[in-house]
Amino acid sequence: MPDSTSAPRSPVSATAEAGPADLTDDRPVYVVGAGPGGLAVAAALRAQGVRAVVLERSENVGASWRRHYDRLRLHTTRRWSALPGLAIPRRFGRWVGRADVVRYLEKYAEHHALEVVTGVEVFRIDRAQDGTGWQLTASGGRVLTGRAVVVATGYNHTPHVPDWSGRDTFTGALLHASEYRAPAPYAGKDVLVAGIGNTGAEIAVDLVEGGASRVRIAVRTAPHIVRRSTAGWPAQATGILVRRLPVRLVDRAGAVMARLAVPDLSAHGLPRPATGLYSRVREGAIPVQDVGLIGAVKSGRVVPVAAVESFDGDAVVLADGTRATPDAVIAATGYRRALEPLVGHLGVLDARGRPVVHGGRAPKGAPGLYFTGFTNPISGMFREMARDARKIASSVSRGR
């Protein structure tokens, strides 16, 4: 098995030597994942004069964004979604679309002359044998040693479909939301969307507008719904202002704002949630930004129903005992971080498989190991990844 302290340089790094003086010796910092979080860290490290090599298992940067549905737009503003060292072009609009996010990430890697090595999957991270760095076991028999490692494999890493009883024998189509691209294949069809997070809500609206004959959305827990923007004031701005305030205070303010800005949809099968908005955020449930859901529910074009419990032949059995026979079920049931094979043996994950720390702090007992992109804050994921990138670069350059 080959032993290496570096990885081959990719075409986007051809001009990498033109940057600041390199502060590393023979060991770069390895960044695992070429999504926005990983690219931001690599650029911030380069600005500090630290060589960073980004390892990406797919063939392109921004792989997860390439797989998202066509309609998707950032729910955060262009201004507050830019990564360190490069603004998002004004022509992309205030709410940047999926394809333009991909273009931005491609340009970002090129602009910063980042070393991005594609087609390399990292399977496991261990302390280096000499105890002074980290060893990565990767595809192709690679064993790479770096002075530090940044894990940026993404919040939406591995699609999760619940192990519903009978799902393997369902005679209709069953797919995860990660496989959904556009509504055309569902025109004239009866579709049930399972899950009412931002993804499920937006896909449901997309299906209605794309000509599906019937759209139902299965709801286990009623979500908080917020307007993406009110009189020009983005919801993200509010998220930035309140994120460090006491939870109970934000819950109360959120309830008042909801009564003023969002109609009561209880009569349409979608009651107001019983738990406060910020309390839910702290549990990992981000509010649903309205991109047409309110109007679709009020008009009856999207019908909320009980949560999916099981499948029985051509039928979906719901939690209230009713049965539906849709042509297709789209499971908007989230993702797993899937970090256990990579770092689970290091004691750096909590009971839910999330890193115990992120940003510029390394876990106790694991100096030089950093994480970014594994939180979903109401202040905006891109904004927080940009902040994390600067903190990580500062910590690495100081040798912390």
Tens of pLDDT, residues 251-269: 999 999 899 899 999 999 9
Residues 43 and 146 in one domain: yes
CA nearest to 357, candidates 335, 336, 388, 378: 388
- Please give the average per-residue pLDDT across 211-227, as a whole number: 96
Q: Tell me the pLDDT band of 2, cut-offs 50, 70 and 90.
A: very low
Residues 93 and 129 in one domain: yes
Question: Of 302, 331, 360, which closes a domain?
Answer: 331
Residues 218 and 277 in one domain: yes
pLDDT at position 283, please? 82
Three-state SS at 153: coil
Q: In whole angstroms, what is the distance from residue 22 CA to residue 134 CA?
A: 19
Residues 37 and 132 in one domain: yes
Residues 310 and 198 in one domain: yes
Total domains present in the chain: 2
Q: Is the pLDDT of residue 294 over 70?
A: yes
Residues 142 and 182 in one domain: no
- The structure tokens listed for 135 are 């060893």
pLDDT at position 400, please? 59
Q: What is the pLDDT of residues 65-120, one digit of tens each?
A: 999 999 999 999 999 999 999 999 999 999 999 999 999 999 999 999 999 999 99
Q: Mean pLDDT of all residues in the chain?
A: 92
Residues 311 and 178 in one domain: yes
Tally the residues of the chain. Answer: 400
Q: Is residue 62 part of a domain?
A: yes
Classify the C-alpha dihedral 126-127-128-133 as positive or negative.
positive
Q: Is the pLDDT of residue 30 over 70?
A: yes
Q: Tell me the pLDDT band of 13, cut-offs 50, 70 and 90.
A: very low
pLDDT at position 22, please? 46
- The structure tokens listed for 287 are 């509010």
Q: Tell me the pLDDT band of 25, cut-offs 50, 70 and 90.
A: low
Residues 344 and 280 in one domain: no
Q: Is residue 355 part of a domain?
A: yes
Instruction: Look up the pTM and report it.
Output: 0.90
Percent of the chain with pLDDT over 70: 94
Q: Provide the CATH number for the domain around residue 216.
A: 3.50.50.60
Contacts of 279 (CB under 8 A, 6+ apart): 247, 251
Concatenating the DSSP letter of every residue in 295-340 gives HHHHTTSEEEEEPEEEEETTEEEETTS-EE--SEEEE---EE---H
Residues 327 and 203 in one domain: yes
Residues 149 and 169 in one domain: no
State the residue range of the domain holding 271.
Answer: 161-331
pLDDT at position 285, please? 85
- The structure tokens listed for 30 are 């390895």
Q: What is the pLDDT of residues 324-350, one digit of tens each?
A: 999 999 999 999 999 999 999 999 999
